[in-house]
Amino acid sequence: MKQDIFQAIADPTRRAILTLIAIQALTPNAMAEKFDMTRQGVSKHIKVLQECELIKPEQSGREIYYHFNGKKMQEFDNWVAQFRQSWKTQFNQLDVLLTTIKEQTTK
């Protein structure tokens, strides 16, 4: 069953794994060394990320290296972008309101 990308990135450990492999492809053992968990624990997180296509495995000899899939993350960013302008407008309106309130209370 394919995992939901939102559930995948909701977990702080999976976000940390994505951050690590965005910098450099890593094996599960190398990832496990970065966390206070077993290799099996990391493998469960890897499975979820791989099912969402956020990471891609690449066999190199006897090792499997996991690479960040920027293309899949771009799809997620494109989805978020549709809300970005709305948030920006709302934050700007809030800034204006707070500035007005501050000016009125300092008079």
Does residue 16 form part of some domain? yes
Instruction: Tell me, rounded to whole angstroms, the distance of Cα 63 from its chain centroid.
Output: 25
The structural domain count of the chain equals 1
Which residues constitute the domain of residue 44?
5-68
Which pLDDT band holds residue 73 (cuts at 50, 70, 90)? confident
- We report the CATH number of the domain holding residue 30 as 1.10.10.10
Residue 12 has a pLDDT of 96
Which pLDDT band holds residue 4 (cuts at 50, 70, 90)? confident
What residues contact residue 37 under an 8 Å CB cut-off, 6+ apart?
13
Does residue 46 form part of some domain? yes
* pLDDT, averaged across the chain: 91
Quote the pTM value. Answer: 0.74
Residue 15 has a pLDDT of 96
Distance (Å, rounded) from C-alpha 102 to C-alpha 107?
Answer: 9
Does residue 106 form part of some domain? no
Phi, psi of 50, rounded to the nearest 5 degrees: -70, -40
Query: Quick check: 32 and 41 in contact, CB under 8 A?
Result: yes
Lowest-confidence region among 3-7, 22-26, 41-45: 3-7
Does residue 61 form part of some domain? yes
Query: Quick check: 99 and 54 in contact, CB under 8 A?
Result: no
Does residue 88 form part of some domain? no
Task: For 28-58, write each residue's pLDDT tens digit.
Answer: 999 999 998 899 999 999 999 999 999 999 9
